[in-house]
Structure 1
Amino acid sequence: MSALFYFREKDVTNVIAESIQKARVAMSKRAFGESKALLDEVLSAEPDNFEGRYTLAVLHRAEGQPANAKVLLETLVAEKPDFGRGFQELGLCELALKKEPAAITAFEQAVEHDGSLIDSWKFLTTAYRRQGDTRAEQAAMQVDFLASLPTELRTVISYLAANRMADAERLCRFFLQQNKTHVEGMRLMAEIATRTGVFDDAEFLLETVMELAPDHIEAEIQLAHVLLRRQRFHKAHKRVTSIYNRNSNPSPQVKALYASVCFGVGENEEAIKTYQDMIRVSPNDPQLRVSLAHIYNATGESAKAVDLFKQAYSLKSDFGDAFWSLANTKSYRFTEAELTAMTDRVDSPSTPQLDKIQMHFALGKAHEDSKDFDTAFRHYQEGNTLKRETSTHSKEQLDIRISSQLEVCKSDLFERLKGVGHDAPDPIFILGLPRAGSTLLEQILASHSKVDGTMELHDILDLAKRLRGRDKSSDPSPRYPRILSELPTERFTQFGQQFIEDTRAYRGNAPFFIDKMPNNFFHIGLIKLILPNAKVIDARRHPMACCFSGYKQLFGEGQEFSYGLEEIGNYYRQYVDLMDHWNAVLPGFVLQVQHEDVIADLEGQVRRILDFCGLEFEEACVEFHKTKRTVRTPSAEQVRQPINTSGVDQWCNFETHLDPLKRALGPDILDAYGVTPPA
């Protein structure tokens, strides 16, 4: 019996990891027999151990058996298609087997998934130069860059490639404690902050890098990407335009970034022209076509968008983004040929997971359109299951977010702080859950001559993050909202003024403007304290319709709660509880607008909304579909059409599959809407 079996189960993982490390040390000393014995023991205890099998493959190559190693490695990279180290080792095996073209392909895949693999970059530099490939110079620059980095930072890059965020952050923080102004260390720390959603930290770090190294073009590009993620479009536009103009021949990366920031600030023609120029230079790049199509879709030129999405999947048959983007126009109907193509590609082992996710959602939409609801649900379910593997949603953290607001933001807090904040009446917040009809309400209000439509602004969310500080989301008593009862009263006025100033760049000349960030429902207490004269509209929709519509929507980012029926049902229930609380402690501050009521009595609800906002009635609000403006949400095409009832009861077609959602919503919500409870 293997010695490993003598350990308690909880110890086995550590023992196996230690045995694999010992096997690697023995291999480095060319003690191949000892290494093999250790690995045999590991794989006897855990035959599927990934690192054990990888180390055995390395051992096979070291012993002069590259063919055996290759068989193992091909299995490993099929199981884990982003395994950079595996592709590098596969490349070394191909070299040993004198198959240089295959080696080049493997090394290219290695650096695509893990940019820290300096040996792969070195080989590619040599191979590209021998072939006269223009990529040789870039590969050589990457070798020089990696060689200049301390070992710790190369390890951080490898951790990032493997999505080992906690390990990457721990090692990078330790390095920066010893090297406080190391530019590349700060850039990596900013990348970690970006990936974990702490964008204000990322922006601060990169601004500091730019002060230390004003000519660091890569850091400035990285900063521009962070500003885009924070929807600081005008700041990003200023930086990127500067980069773009001071280079006589900007790189494709800079050109694409320039097009993005132009779109962000509403310079749509310039963005379109830039993408068109790039497509002429790189006609086989499908992503450029999708990026251009999204602009056309947002500006109402859906026929041009559809044509570009089709061109994109013609260039890359497993390009899930193109298929999902077609589905996301909502009105597009897939052909039988497209349906067959997606079905074939979604089942192929070579199709990347993200593309599979996107195609599952697109197939769900296609089968729903053809009224094959069981098959449609299967694809929605498979897409959600795959997506949930990468989701960061936590029911426990949601409980803390809700309970802390209920505990802190009570009537006595608002009574004690009555009169604080900035008195500007400009903002109209439309909030609630995604797919609840908020884009329709925004389009109605933005059709009024005195109201500017903007987008889903991040300013309130960013303020909440700043107030939370470095508290972890799992802390049972987080600093925010607790700090609201401790702040000097003048800070609320400052926060309100800052909100008005920071959002001015998104507005036109109208006296009022809309912030349509749905997640602001968590922060209605904060909004009341900093902007007491703001208007808040709760976009509410039938729970089954709203939740199932969210479940079948693949979001660009965020809304992590939406990829499971139980998760989204629980989220809706918690949202209702919190909105009930806000209505109790801030009576009259929030107007609830039921989506079904808007569809049934458009003019009546329009008048009700305008009265609440202190606006006179304008016929344009009823004829909202005629308003020309950029709409960046999945409902872009729908709000350019007159009101229709086609989506009201779509969830009923899937009701036999929705018992987990009903159970999560609970009897009170089901009873309020007359929904039959689960059996």
Structure 2
Amino acid sequence: MNTIKQLHRLAQEAINHRDYVKGHRYCVEIIQQNPQHGDSYFLLAMINVELGQINKAIQLIQKALEYSASIEYYAHLCKCYALQGNMSQALASISHVTIDQVSDPLTLDTLGVALSRVGAHQKALAFFEKAMSLNPNNAAFFYNYGVSSKFAGLFTQARQAFETAIRLKPDHYQAHFALSDLGKVSQDDNHIERLEKLLAISSEPDGVLHLGHALAKEYEALGQHQKAFAMLQKSKSTKLSSIDYQFSQDVELFAKSRLLIENTNNTIHGCDANAPIFVMGMPRSGTTLVERILSNHSHVDSCGELQDFGIAVKELTRTSSVKVLDVETLSASKHIDMRALGQRYMQKTAAIRGTAPRFVDKLPFNFFYIGLIKQALPNAKIILLQRNPMDTCIGNFRQLFTINSPYYAYAFDLLTIGRFYAEFYRLGQYWQTQHSNNVLFLNYEQLVQEPEQQIRQLLQFCELDWQEQCLHVETNQAPVSTASKVQVRDPINTSSIGRWRKYGAATSALQQFFDEQNIPY
């Protein structure tokens, strides 16, 4: 019979070789011999993280912490909560750790990644800097440092970090894309030759996707839009063929969302809080711009794309499915206490809100929850962005979203994006017929063409007084953790209107689809 020490070593080796079946068995054997062996629970948690079972991983790390207050355990607990989008719990977990306590570079990097995921980019930078100083040859540390630098608006610093990551690991495809995404590409200063050579020898779908998007960015910068579109089409189709995605799943979500109307059987009034301002809409429709406008007001804090409302729904429904947002959970939500839902959301966001009386939650896909938000938080404001469908769809097609998120799987094919937009369009039309006094439908084109008039109406809707600085988003110094991290640091402008026309005949099938759907563009 193996000793606990031998089993522990075997478990670590098995997990390092991704043999999770053996690793799990060894950990269970240890726990049978010693139920208080904290690291076995932690190793089981790491197995569950790799398998996508984040809730189970959190429970196991909490069990491990009962027997050992390990900094590494707290780091991974913070990371797990960050993966869920549970910002308040992530920050609570990291409160047990100070940077001076941590000397292991990997743990420092884990903490930095977790902080970056919850939008605490300035805090994350310090952890990455210490990790890099302890191990200056790890490309991942420099890449992660660059990502947080970019979100914090430190673009020169980000560029240097990505170049260092590429020098240390020439095929670091995420760093290649991140560097191209920073812009400032010209005929005399670009990375096209390097990217084309690397793409020619790449076969892994995620690598092809990143490199394809990087090349498309640089082709576009040189005015080669047809070439950019072809590159996107090729690289995205490679990724799409590697995943299991059915558009019918999204159709079911939209259908279920339309049924989340006022529940006349619920006699309990929702939570009275009036602090939240929800900004939502299709990705790439201007939600970040609206957030920057509002958060430049002295009475409004920016909280970024919060997952907290969806997580609160998931917790109260107690559905067993892995996804936070799915048909099963939306179906079960009609039975939960709406006041409890509103209160749970406010509790979850308490740790990340500032001192201002109002805050913005700008998760685009919160539009699936409009019916629940109206019941749970009847005094909250909801702003639904609407943008030209062609520009919206091209914007989604051009964007490299979180690649393994189930919620962005629609974005690998342009016509599928159009079908998704059509569902969103019909959902918006449905809510317009409800004449809700706490829902504002805001047109992106009107906003950028008539900024002062539209912003005055926006602030009035949100019951905020007029402040001149709301016109000048370029003065907003808050970090940006979205796809718009570079653009929104410019003044409000109309440069993105009609961008879709640059792609010419490549958009003809999408135009025909919208014509058939009677959706004006």
Q: After TM superposition, is the score higher than 0.5? A: yes
> Who is 2:457 aligned against?
608
**Code of the aligned partner of 2:367:** F
Name the SS of the counterpart of 2:19 in structure 1: helix
Name the SS of the counterpart of 1:250 in structure 2: coil
223, 238, 242: which one aligns with 2:77: 223
Name the SS of the counterpart of 1:599 in structure 2: helix
Deviations 1:565-584 (A, max 9, x none): 12211111111122222333
Deviations 1:411-466 (A, max 9, x none): xx444447621011100001111111100000000001111011100111212333
Deviations 1:178-228 (A, max 9, x none): 99x8978866775576567664454344334434x4356665443222112
476, 486, 492: which one aligns with 1:627: 476
Query: Does residue 310 of the first structure (1) align with residue 163 of the second (2)?
Result: yes
When residues 659 and 192 of structure 1 are mapped into structure 2, their CA distance, relative to the original with a 3 A threshold, is farther
Instruction: Select the structure that is richer in helix.
Output: 1
8 A contact 2:105–2:132 mirrored in 1: no
When residues 493 and 288 of structure 1 are mapped into structure 2, their CA distance, relative to the original with a 3 A threshold, is same
Structure 1 residue 616: deviation in Å? Answer: 1.2
When residues 432 and 253 of structure 1 are mapped into structure 2, their CA distance, relative to the original with a 3 A threshold, is same
When residues 284 and 243 of structure 1 are mapped into structure 2, their CA distance, relative to the original with a 3 A threshold, is same
> Who is 1:373 aligned against?
225
Structure 1 residue 307: deviation in Å? Answer: 2.5
Structure 1 residue 259: deviation in Å? Answer: 2.9
Query: Does residue 147 of the first structure (1) align with residue 2 of the second (2)?
Result: no
When residues 486 and 316 of structure 1 are mapped into structure 2, their CA distance, relative to the original with a 3 A threshold, is closer
Structure 1 residue 363: deviation in Å? Answer: 0.3
> Who is 2:497 aligned against?
648
When residues 520 and 390 of structure 1 are mapped into structure 2, their CA distance, relative to the original with a 3 A threshold, is farther
**Code of the aligned partner of 2:355:** N
244, 252, 262: which one aligns with 1:400: 252
- Write the distance in 2 (CA, Å) between the matches of 1:284 and 1:397: 44
When residues 603 and 450 of structure 1 are mapped into structure 2, their CA distance, relative to the original with a 3 A threshold, is same
Deviations 1:310-339 (A, max 9, x none): 232233222221221123235555755611
8 A contact 1:357–1:383 mirrored in 2: yes
Which structure has the higher relative contact order (CA within 8 Å, separation 6+)?
2
Name the SS of the counterpart of 2:440 in structure 1: strand
8 A contact 2:268–2:338 mirrored in 1: no
Name the SS of the counterpart of 1:539 in structure 2: strand
Structure 1 residue 385: deviation in Å? Answer: 1.5
- Write the distance in 1 (CA, Å) between the matches of 2:90 and 2:135: 25
Q: Which has the higher mean CA deviation after the structures are superposed, 458-467 or 267-276?
A: 267-276
- Write the distance in 2 (CA, Å) between the matches of 1:246 and 1:307: 26
- Write the distance in 1 (CA, Å) between the matches of 2:234 and 2:176: 16
- Write the distance in 1 (CA, Å) between the matches of 2:465 and 2:180: 38
Matches for 1:270-669 after TM superposition, within 5 Å: 270-333=123-186, 338-349=191-202, 352-406=204-258, 408-410=259-261, 413-417=262-266, 420-470=269-319, 472=321, 478-487=327-336, 491-557=337-403, 558=405, 559-585=408-434, 587-662=436-511, 665=514, 667-669=516-518
8 A contact 2:105–2:130 mirrored in 1: no
> Who is 1:51 aligned against?
none
- Write the distance in 1 (CA, Å) between the matches of 2:362 and 2:319: 27
- Write the distance in 2 (CA, Å) between the matches of 1:222 and 1:325: 25
- Write the distance in 2 (CA, Å) between the matches of 1:358 and 1:450: 39
- Write the distance in 1 (CA, Å) between the matches of 2:100 and 2:222: 53
**Code of the aligned partner of 2:149:** Y
For structure 1, the residue ranges without an aligned partner over 5 or more in a row are 1-140, 162-167, 674-679
59, 62, 69: which one aligns with 1:207: 62
Structure 1 residue 599: deviation in Å? Answer: 1.3
> Who is 2:19 aligned against?
158
8 A contact 1:467–1:483 mirrored in 2: no
Deviations 1:504-553 (A, max 9, x none): 21111111000011111101111111101110011121111111111111
Name the SS of the counterpart of 2:517 in structure 1: helix
Deviations 1:457-511 (A, max 9, x none): 011121233355445599xx95433334434xxx221221121121021111111
Deviations 1:74-128 (A, max 9, x none): xxxxxxxxxxxxxxxxxxxxxxxxxxxxxxxxxxxxxxxxxxxxxxxxxxxxxxx
- Write the distance in 1 (CA, Å) between the matches of 2:119 and 2:332: 37
Name the SS of the counterpart of 2:273 in structure 1: coil
- Write the distance in 1 (CA, Å) between the matches of 2:205 and 2:376: 43
When residues 495 and 380 of structure 1 are mapped into structure 2, their CA distance, relative to the original with a 3 A threshold, is same
Structure 1 residue 236: deviation in Å? Answer: 3.1
Structure 1 residue 234: deviation in Å? Answer: 5.0
- Write the distance in 1 (CA, Å) between the matches of 2:187 and 2:163: 11
**Code of the aligned partner of 1:523:** Y
Matches for 1:17-166 after TM superposition, within 5 Å: 145=8, 147=10, 157-158=18-19
- Write the distance in 2 (CA, Å) between the matches of 1:648 and 1:232: 35
The TM-score normalised by the length of structure 1 is 0.67
In our comparison, the structure showing a higher alpha carbon Rg is: 1
Deviations 1:124-152 (A, max 9, x none): xxxxxxxxxxxxxxxxx998536359x9x
Alpha-carbon RMSD across the aligned residues, in angstroms, is 3.7
8 A contact 1:428–1:515 mirrored in 2: yes
- Write the distance in 2 (CA, Å) between the matches of 1:604 and 1:655: 33
- Write the distance in 2 (CA, Å) between the matches of 1:482 and 1:267: 34
- Write the distance in 2 (CA, Å) between the matches of 1:647 and 1:551: 14
Structure 1 residue 403: deviation in Å? Answer: 1.8
- Write the distance in 2 (CA, Å) between the matches of 1:379 and 1:499: 42
108, 123, 127: which one aligns with 1:255: 108
- Write the distance in 2 (CA, Å) between the matches of 1:472 and 1:379: 36
8 A contact 1:468–1:479 mirrored in 2: no
- Write the distance in 2 (CA, Å) between the matches of 1:644 and 1:428: 24
Name the SS of the counterpart of 2:382 in structure 1: strand
8 A contact 1:469–1:479 mirrored in 2: no
- Write the distance in 2 (CA, Å) between the matches of 1:525 and 1:359: 40
- Write the distance in 1 (CA, Å) between the matches of 2:20 and 2:119: 38
Name the SS of the counterpart of 2:280 in structure 1: strand
Q: Which has the higher mean CA deviation after the structures are superposed, 533-542 or 301-310?
A: 301-310
8 A contact 2:279–2:382 mirrored in 1: yes
8 A contact 1:429–1:516 mirrored in 2: yes
Name the SS of the counterpart of 2:478 in structure 1: coil
- Write the distance in 1 (CA, Å) between the matches of 2:300 and 2:401: 27
**Code of the aligned partner of 1:367:** Y
When residues 551 and 298 of structure 1 are mapped into structure 2, their CA distance, relative to the original with a 3 A threshold, is same
